[in-house]
């Protein structure tokens, strides 16, 4: 998973009309694992730097949060630069893209005490995205990268009231993410020329059922194991 991005298994979905990929949705996981390895490296660095006494005892500087912000800025600049220069090497473009996304999220956590979330800021951010869409695709590309992380926080934390009752049902998002593709592939090879509408409806209900079962019988019990490691 660290050094490759295999998508196929021998004989599986060879008759699929679109792709032979067993689960194309999982292509992000190797990159997520690589980012966590970088994060582990930063954690080791933090442990080592904590043992080193600064020359000035009054100077307090936490190296790792600063590095997280620096990586976010540098990777984002590289990704934007690759886009405008037409650079298409798959590894470096994806490396800059996922490092940007991952460490922008990390930077938001590092700077969480200084981030204000409000409906006014949310509406302003959405307006900027719409304006950039009207200007050009390149403007939208830049604004999308820079503004989407904040929008995600707004969508997560601003809604109040009965809409939050949905969270009591369980978190079916990950199950939906990992089961949707193989379900769609199975439908595609089992029902030749299935209509897009039937594919959408069938895949939705089957995937939702599997996601519900996965959360209550696999994911939630697995998350309880965290107490043995914390």
Mean pLDDT computed over every residue of the chain? 87
Checking if the pLDDT of 54 tops 50, the result is yes
Q: Where are the domains of the chain?
A: 1-115, 160-230
Band of pLDDT at residue 230, cut at 50, 70 and 90: low
Checking if the pLDDT of 1 tops 70, the result is no
Are 42 and 67 contacting, i.e. CB atoms less than 8 angstroms apart?
yes
Give the pLDDT of residue 170. Answer: 87
DSSP state of 53: P
Give the pLDDT of residue 59. Answer: 46
pTM of the model: 0.75
Checking if the pLDDT of 175 tops 60, the result is yes
- Dmax over CA atoms of the chain, in Å, equals 72
Burial of 108 (0-12, 13-18, 19+ CB in 10 A): middle
Band of pLDDT at residue 64, cut at 50, 70 and 90: confident
* 142-126-200 Cα angle (round to 5): 90
Q: What is the pLDDT of residues 121-152, one digit of tens each?
A: 999 999 999 999 999 999 999 999 999 999 99
Give the pLDDT of residue 51. Answer: 64
Band of pLDDT at residue 69, cut at 50, 70 and 90: very high
Most confident of 2-6, 28-32, 70-74: 70-74
């Amino acid at each position: 998973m660290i050094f490759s991005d295999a998508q196929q298994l021998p004989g599986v979905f060879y008759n699929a009309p679109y792709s032979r990929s067993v689960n194309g949705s999982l292509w992000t996981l190797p990159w997520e694992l690589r980012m966590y390895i970088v994060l582990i490296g930063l954690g080791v660095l933090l442990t080592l730097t904590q043992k080193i006494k600064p020359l000035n005892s009054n100077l307090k500087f936490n190296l790792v949060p600063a590095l997280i912000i620096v990586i976010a800025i540098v990777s984002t600049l590289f990704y934007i630069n690759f886009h405008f220069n037409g650079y298409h090497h798959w590894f470096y473009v994806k490396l800059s893209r996922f490092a940007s996304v991952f460490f922008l999220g990390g930077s938001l956590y590092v700077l969480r005490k200084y981030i204000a979330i409000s409906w006014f800021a949310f509406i302003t951010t959405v307006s900027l995205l719409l304006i950039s869409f009207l200007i050009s695709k390149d403007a939208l590309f830049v604004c999308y990268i820079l503004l989407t992380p904040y929008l995600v926080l707004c969508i997560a934390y601003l809604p109040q009231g009965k809409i939050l009752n949905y969270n009591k049902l369980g978190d079916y998002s990950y199950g939906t993410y990992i089961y949707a593709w193989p379900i769609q592939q199975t439908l595609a090879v089992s029902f030749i020329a299935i209509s897009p509408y039937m594919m959408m409806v069938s895949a939705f209900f089957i995937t939702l059922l599997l996601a519900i079962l996965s959360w209550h019988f696999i994911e939630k019990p697995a998350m309880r194991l965290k107490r043995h490691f914390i």
